[in-house]
Each structure stands twice: as C-alpha cells, then as structure tokens.
Structure 1
Amino acid sequence: MIDAIKTFLVKIKDQGHVLPLIHQADIQVNLHCDQQIIQLNIKNGGILFLQNLDGQQVKYEISGSPTAMKQLFEGTERLRVLEQQGQLKASTPLRTTLLLESIFFLTKAQNS
C-alpha cells in the first residue's frame, strides 16, 4: 500500500484539475489494510499521509484488502464500487466518500 500511496502523492501534484477539490477540504481518514494503519489528512489544499500513529483517533475510516486499496489509489476503481463489492468498508458520510472517490479517480495514479 505504501508504494501506491507514494505514486499517488507524486501524481496528484501533476494533476492541477484535482487540486481545487481539496482547496477547502478538512478531512482525516484512517486507512486500514493488513494490520497497517495510515492516516490520510487533507487540509488547506494539501494531502499528507501519516504512519505509526500512536492511538490517534479520527472520525472516518476506510478498511479493506491490499488489492482493493491499490485499485483505489491508482484510480482504477471507484470507492463506492469497491464498497458495494465488499472489498472495502468506508465509515464516512456520503459527501466525504464522494470527495475521496473523486480525488482518487481523477488523479489516476497509474500511468495507463
């Protein structure tokens, strides 16, 4: 999952059309995958990923398999589709889900 995140972070900087989506956003989401927790922070037009969190609680959470997380970060599948298929579980409001889905899908971190 770390490699997919690094690729995503590099790619989103090249995608100027995606940045207005996060300009006013203030979202913290824990991503759970294979006993690993990574926190996604979107604030003031920037995106950060934090590892090795010591008990930091956030309101929202997305959990699932490494394959599903990779698809999400690469923009090859939409968040709600992965959730409907049972590959991911998202505990986020619909508005947050749609925003995250748009960010990942529009970034298309994979060079295809």
Structure 2
Amino acid sequence: MEERIESFMNEIQKKNHIMLLVTNLDLCLSIEAEKQTYYLSFKKKKVEFSKERAFPAAQYAKLSGREDLLIHLLDGHIKLREGISIGYFNLVCPFRTLLVLESIFYLARPMTLKVFI
C-alpha cells in the first residue's frame, strides 16, 4: 500500500496541471486501510507522505475503506465519488474538499499507453 501511495504522490508532483490544484491547498488526508493509516499532506505546493500524523493543516479529511479497493482508487480503476456511492469508501470532509480530492484522484491516475499491432 505504501508503494501505491508514493507512486500516486509522484504522479501528482510530475503533472503541472494537478499541482495548480495543490498550490493553495492546506489539507491533510488520512487514508485508513484495514491495518494501517497513512497521511498525505497538501501544503505550499508540496505533497508529502507519512505513516504518522505529523502534518499541521487547516483542514483534515478522512478516507477509509478496504485496502484492495483503496489500491484500485490510487491506480485509477475506481473513481472516488463512484466508490463512495457504491459503499466502497467513506470520506469525511466538506463538499468542496471532496471535489478537489476527486479531481486530484482522477487527474493523477497513471496514463497507460496502449499499442495496437
């Protein structure tokens, strides 16, 4: 799970259009899988990852779900709001934060190149 979160974080940092969303964001997202809680901090044009809650932030959001489904979310196979409506995930945050997180998860999904032979 840690590798997927780090890969997700790297995708965010590589894509300038996503960094525009993060520019003014002051948010700590806790991702609660079955066995572990992980933290992503969005602050001052930076995205940081930790296994401990050490990030002071103006806002906190809590995303929880099964680890395998969270991995599918990080890999871009499930959209955030679809997963919430189906019951895969629970997200506690204001609606505007949900919209920003939904955009970040959607835009940060890895782009795969399909080759047709």
- Tell me the TM-score normalized by structure 2: 0.83
Question: 1:31/1:21 Cα in 2 relative to 1: closer, same or farther (>3 Å)?
Answer: same
Question: Can you list the C-alpha shifts for 1:64-94, whole angstroms capped at 9, x where unaligned?
Answer: 0112211221222211110111110001111
Separation in 2 of the partners of 1:24 and 1:89? 25
Does residue 4 of structure 2 align to residue 4 of structure 1? Answer: yes
Question: Is the contact made by 1:39 and 1:51 (CA closer than 8 Å) also made in structure 2?
Answer: yes
- 1:32-47 alignment to 2 at 5 Å? 32-47=32-47
Q: CA deviation at 1:33?
A: 0.1
Q: Which residue matches 1:71? A: 72
Question: 1:9/1:59 Cα in 2 relative to 1: closer, same or farther (>3 Å)?
Answer: closer
Q: CA deviation at 1:110?
A: 5.7
- 1:18-97 alignment to 2 at 5 Å? 18-53=18-53, 59-97=60-98
Unaligned runs of 5+ residues in structure 1 are none
For these two proteins, the number of residue pairs brought into alignment is: 110
Separation in 1 of the partners of 2:111 and 2:3? 11
Question: Is the contact made by 2:25 and 2:44 (CA closer than 8 Å) also made in structure 1?
Answer: yes
Separation in 2 of the partners of 1:14 and 1:111? 15
- Tell me the TM-score normalized by structure 1: 0.86
Q: Which protein shows a greater Rg?
A: 2
Q: CA deviation at 1:3?
A: 1.7
| 1:106 alignment partner AA | L
Runs of 4+ in structure 1 deviating by more than 2 angstroms, as ranges, are 109-112
Separation in 2 of the partners of 1:52 and 1:44? 20
